[in-house]
């Protein structure tokens, strides 16, 4: 079987181009451009790289963007003061505090300090609750990116058995909630499987659509999938590779080489879900801008 390779790069570029055009139109009509504030605390290399990608994406889309880089020694009170400053800044429509934070800072308290109307990461309990009951909300960017991939690649989950491997607040829980909603583009029968299961393959082999969000390289192998399934690999794992200039390479939670021949469609890593996250962050920030303009 030659699977459909779900090209996240192509789809993310389409979304980013759409956002760029809408930002230009918004500026022509109102004089307003979306403003995004990103706060980065500490020296995590992956976070710094990701924030640089966000900065470039904002520039390309015509956003107003601010990045505050703070040392790892920053105290929680100082961080929360900065968040509140951006809450009150009329030029800022979206606020993103890059995770993870240093261990001495309570991430949940920081998240709850962000104005829900500027919570473009979709982590505030208000947005999580609204998403849970099917109301309009900011959706976490990675789950939102998965939903866009399914939609734009004409993969209809309605009535399908979707198995979500992983139960994180960032991906597993929200994508399960989104896919079980009684609406177009969802309406799936969803099973969540996690480390509490003695053998996750009992469940993954039943999946019409398998979403792997475990955070471990090559956990999902060919013996764990049903022929003809759709495989969405959310994992981004760094493994050693002596043939690479960097000494490592990025792989997913799925053993692509063994699973792809069995799949109807599959996302690669890199080049799949990961690229969608920034595109949906831009989309969320544009949405926040429009919401706040309607309130003025």
pLDDT band at 241 (very low <50, low <70, confident <90, very high): confident
pLDDT at 32 over 80: yes
- Residue 134 CB: number of other CB atoms within 10 A? 14
Which is the catalytic residue, given 22, 98, 119, 233?
98
Give me the pLDDT at residue 237, please.
86
Give me the pLDDT at residue 155, please.
98
Average of per-residue pLDDT values in the chain: 96
226 is catalytic: no
pLDDT at 296 over 90: no
pLDDT at 109 over 90: yes
pLDDT band at 49 (very low <50, low <70, confident <90, very high): confident
pLDDT band at 239 (very low <50, low <70, confident <90, very high): confident
121 is catalytic: yes
To the question of domain 31-115 being in CATH 3.60.15.10, the answer is: no
- What is the C-alpha to C-alpha distance for residues 138 and 119, in angstroms, rounded to an integer? 7
State the angle between helix axes of 8-30 and 45-61 in degrees (0 to 180), rounded to the nearest 10: 50
Give me the pLDDT at residue 39, please.
97
Q: Which whole number is the average pLDDT over 115-119?
A: 98
pLDDT band at 105 (very low <50, low <70, confident <90, very high): very high
Domains 31-115 and 141-275 share a fold: yes
Task: Name the CATH superfamily for 141-275.
Answer: NAD(P)-binding Rossmann-like Domain (3.40.50.720)
Give me the pLDDT at residue 65, please.
96
Q: Which whole number is the average pLDDT over 247-270?
A: 95
233 is catalytic: no
| Span of 144-153, 216-225, 243-252 with lowest mean pLDDT | 243-252
To the nearest 10°, the Cα dihedral for 43, 48, 51, 55? Answer: 110
Query: pTM value?
Result: 0.95
Which is the catalytic residue, given 54, 118, 173, 287?
54
Domain boundaries, the chain: 31-115, 141-275
Which is the catalytic residue, given 115, 121, 233, 253?
121
- 145-154 pLDDT, tens digit each: 999 999 999 9
């Amino acid at each position: 079987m030659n699977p459909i390779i779900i090209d996240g790069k192509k789809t993310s570029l389409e979304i980013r181009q759409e956002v760029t055009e809408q930002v230009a139109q918004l500026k022509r009509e109102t004089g307003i451009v979306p403003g995004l504030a990103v706060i980065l605390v500490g020296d995590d290399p992956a976070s710094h790289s990701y924030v640089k990608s966000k900065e470039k994406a904002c520039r390309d889309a015509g956003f107003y963007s601010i990045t505050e880089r703070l040392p790892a020694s920053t105290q929680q009170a100082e961080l929360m003061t900065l968040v509140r400053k951006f809450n009150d800044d009329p030029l800022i429509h979206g606020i993103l505090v890059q995770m993870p934070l240093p261990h001495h800072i309570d991430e949940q308290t920081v998240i709850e300090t962000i104005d829900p109307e500027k919570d473009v990461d979709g982590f505030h309990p208000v947005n999580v609750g609204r998403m849970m009951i099917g109301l309009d909300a900011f959706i976490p960017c990675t789950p939102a990116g998965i939903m866009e991939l399914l939609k734009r690649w004409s993969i209809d989950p309605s009535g399908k058995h979707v198995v979500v491997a992983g139960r994180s607040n960032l991906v597993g829980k929200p994508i399960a909630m989104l896919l079980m909603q009684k609406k177009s583009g969802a309406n799936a029968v969803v099973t969540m499987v996690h480390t509490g299961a003695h053998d996750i393959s009992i469940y993954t082999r039943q999946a019409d659509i398998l979403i792997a969000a475990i955070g471990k390289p090559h956990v999902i192998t060919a013996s764990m999938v049903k022929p003809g399934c759709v495989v969405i690999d959310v994992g981004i794992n760094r493994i050693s590779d002596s043939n690479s200039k960097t000494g490592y390479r990025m792989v997913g939670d799925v053993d692509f080489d063994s699973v792809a021949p069995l799949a109807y469609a599959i996302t690669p890593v890199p080049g799949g879900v990961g690229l969608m996250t920034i595109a949906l962050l831009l989309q969320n920030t544009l949405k926040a801008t429009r919401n706040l303009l309607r309130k003025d």
